[in-house]
């Protein structure tokens, strides 16, 4: 309930999106060489994290399926795909973009069911930005010679792509679109807990009549990911996920000629100066850490606020958090949905408990969490020291750690004091300070007076242990072109 109890408050009426729109099927199959088939691995139930009920059964891939998928991708690469004129490849990508738009509502509901994210986000961000990525890279397919990679850039070959569960469809689009635009073929592995939208994307790709084998989608767990990484006939690996797994992949590829791009973890600082428009900053802080339940590699998980406005800002942040609606992901009023899995929830709990144990002060707004499902209330820690685990480790949940600073130099020092370097935020009305901070923050994306903005034309990726390579924009082509 709002803290502003004195003014009249209109209650929200439930506005649930119908789960029928998702056209859930009882079972889903993997996609190899243009055909759907049961994988040779286990049949696994994917569950709705909002209520822990099974959504569908997925016949996961086994090692033999990896071999078949890579062989199919190789045949498609040597056969029709790499020889196809760019303008024809581009038209296939345009078809995919349009089909995602046409089936946008279905994909959004399915994404919210499988992932737990609010329908408002899957509808307004995940699905439209996924379509936009295909649309953007479609246009590059016949213009690669103008990209600055030489007059006649060549594809790399077969790309193995492994994506996380936080933006299942969007990450598939980020990976597949530039790979295909450059003339590569793809073996994609969605995350084990969120395979459904990638498999519907495979359906869209089949209906767009792409040549068999150009895109192959293998549902499965880490062993399937490892099999793709280790396969001798894969030319390039693109991975989005944890820094820990990214390092394992980098080690695995040592001594091989395989290309690698990594988009890994983060611990972004969101820096608020005393001259910032505080109401806007509060909205940016909320968006920064509670968007997608904080399960975002570029989440603004460390709030650095100038000491002189810290009390005022935290007070207004807490008032704002009391208005957040946590609950049914399919309700259009919902701001914060479910945590994706029991394992992730356990990690968030473990790290939050360490915050309390190490002496930080924990606060959450009053909110009722559903009895079933994986839920975690929005949480703010104050009195956080840079040495605390909650200030150093990626929590990947709706947990904000607040630290304070006095001078811009101290803010920079604290912001950059991390092995990560994916993103950062700066809030101030002073233009020269924005540009100075932006130049000195060691992070791949700096949002000034905004946060968590994504666009297919804007390169995204990390410094330091947040990975290497860029996705999006002209820069995103580089990972999929031979050099």
Partner 1 sequence: MPTKRPKQTTPKQPAADATRLRVRKTYKLYIGGAFPRSESGRSYPVHSAAGDLLAYVAQASRKDVRDAVVAARKAFAGWSGATAYNRGQVLYRVAEMLDGRRDQFVAQVGQAEMSTAEVAAGEVVSADAARAQVDAAVDRWVYYAGWSDKYAQIVGGTNPVAGPYFSFSLPEPTGVVGVLAPQDSSLLGLVSVLAPVLATGNTAVVIASEDRPLPAISFAEVLATSDLPPGVVNLLTGSTAELAPWLAGHRDVNALDLSGVVVADRKALQIKAAGNVKRVYAPHEPDWFADPGISRLGAFVETKTVWHPIGV
Using CB under 8 A, list all residues that contact partner 1. 132, 148, 243, 246-247, 250-251, 253-255, 262, 264, 419, 434, 438-440, 442-450, 453, 455, 457-461, 463-468, 470, 473-475, 478, 483
Candidate list 297, 394, 465, 471, residue with the active-site label = 297
Task: Write out the H or E segment, with its range, that includes residue 246.
Answer: helix 243-253
Candidate list 60, 192, 263, 465, residue with the active-site label = 263
Query: With b meaning 16 or more CB within 10 Å and e meaning fewer, what string describes 370-399?
Result: eeebbbbbbbbbbebeeebbbbebbbbbbb
Q: How far is the CB of 323 from partner 1 (least distance, A)?
A: 23
Chain length of the chain: 483
Q: How far is the CB of 151 from partner 1 (least distance, A)?
A: 12
Q: Is there a contact between 461 and 470 (Cβ–Cβ < 8 Å)?
A: yes
Rank residues 337 and 461 by Cβ distance to partner 1 and give the closer one: 461
Q: How far is the CB of 477 from partner 1 (least distance, A)?
A: 12
Q: How far is the CB of 396 from partner 1 (least distance, A)?
A: 18
Q: Is there a contact between 154 and 183 (Cβ–Cβ < 8 Å)?
A: yes
Residues 6+ apart with CB under 8 A from 68: 32, 33
Active site residue 298: no
Q: Is there a contact between 21 and 109 (Cβ–Cβ < 8 Å)?
A: yes
Rank residues 56 and 264 by Cβ distance to partner 1 and give the closer one: 264
Of 310, 300, 276, which Cα lies nearest the Cα of 400? 300
Rank residues 160 and 246 by Cβ distance to partner 1 and give the closer one: 246
Rank residues 246 and 327 by Cβ distance to partner 1 and give the closer one: 246
Task: Write out the H or E segment, with its range, that includes residue 243.
Answer: helix 243-253
Q: Strand 43-48 and strand 53-59: pairing?
A: antiparallel
DSSP letter at 187? E
Rank residues 302 and 464 by Cβ distance to partner 1 and give the closer one: 464
Characterise 200 by phi-psi region: left (phi > 0), alpha (psi -120 to 50), beta (else): alpha
Q: How far is the CB of 276 from partner 1 (least distance, A)?
A: 13
Q: How far is the CB of 420 from partner 1 (least distance, A)?
A: 10
- Structure tokens given for 239: 């991975």
What is the C-alpha to C-alpha distance for residues 430 and 432, in angstroms, rounded to an integer?
6
Rank residues 248 and 324 by Cβ distance to partner 1 and give the closer one: 248
* DSSP bridge pairs for 398: none
Catalytic residue positions? 263, 297
């Amino acid at each position: 309930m709002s803290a502003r109890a004195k003014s009249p408050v209109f209650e929200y009426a439930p506005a649930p999106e119908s789960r029928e729109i998702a056209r859930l099927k009882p079972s889903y199959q993997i996609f190899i060489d243009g055909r759907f088939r049961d994988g040779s691995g286990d049949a696994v139930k994917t569950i709705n994290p909002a209520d822990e009920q099974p959504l569908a059964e997925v016949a996961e891939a086994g090692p033999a399926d990896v071999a078949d998928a890579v062989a199919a991708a190789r045949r498609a690469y040597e056969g029709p795909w790499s020889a196809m004129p760019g303008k024809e490849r581009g038209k296939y990508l345009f078809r995919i973009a349009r089909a995602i738009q046409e089936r946008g509502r279905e994909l959004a509901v399915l994404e919210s069911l499988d992932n737990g994210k609010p329908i408002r986000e899957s509808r307004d961000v995940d699905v439209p930005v996924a379509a936009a990525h295909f649309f953007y890279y479609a246009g590059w397919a016949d213009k690669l010679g103008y990209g600055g990679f030489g007059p006649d850039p060549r594809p790399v070959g077969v790309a193995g792509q492994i994506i996380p569960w936080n933006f299942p469809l969007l990450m598939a689009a980020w990976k597949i679109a530039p790979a295909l635009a450059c003339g590569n073929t793809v073996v994609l592995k969605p995350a084990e807990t969120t395979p459904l939208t990638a498999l519907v994307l495979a359906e869209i790709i089949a209906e767009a009549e792409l040549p068999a084998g150009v895109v192959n989608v293998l549902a499965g767990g880490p062993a399937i990911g490892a099999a793709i990484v280790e396969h001798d006939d894969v030319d390039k690996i693109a991975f989005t996920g944890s820094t820990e797994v990214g390092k394992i992949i980098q080690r695995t590829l040592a001594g091989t000629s395989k290309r690698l791009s990594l988009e890994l973890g983060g611990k972004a600082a969101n820096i608020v100066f005393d001259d910032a428009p505080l109401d806007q900053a509060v909205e940016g802080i909320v968006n920064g850490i509670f968007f997608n339940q904080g399960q975002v590699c570029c989440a603004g998980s460390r709030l650095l606020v100038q000491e002189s406005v810290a009390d005022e800002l935290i007070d207004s942040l807490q008032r704002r958090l009391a208005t957040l609606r946590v609950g049914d992901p399919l309700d259009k009023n919902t701001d914060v949905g479910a945590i994706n899995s029991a394992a992730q929830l356990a990690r968030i709990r473990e790290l939050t408990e360490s915050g309390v144990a190490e002496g930080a002060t924990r606060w959450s707004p009053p909110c009722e969490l559903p009895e079933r499902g994986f839920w975690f209330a929005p949480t703010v820690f104050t009195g956080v020291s840079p040495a605390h685990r909650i200030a150093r480790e990626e929590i990947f949940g709706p947990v904000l750690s607040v630290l304070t600073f006095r001078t811009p130099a101290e803010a920079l020092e604290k912001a950059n004091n991390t092995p990560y370097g994916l993103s950062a935020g700066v809030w101030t009305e002073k233009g020269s300070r924005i540009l100075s901070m932006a130049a000195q923050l060691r992070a791949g994306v700096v949002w000034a007076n905004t946060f968590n903005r994504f666009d297919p034309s804007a390169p995204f990726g990390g410094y330091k242990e947040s990975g290497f390579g860029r996705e999006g924009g002209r820069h995103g082509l580089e990972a999929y072109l031979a050099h």
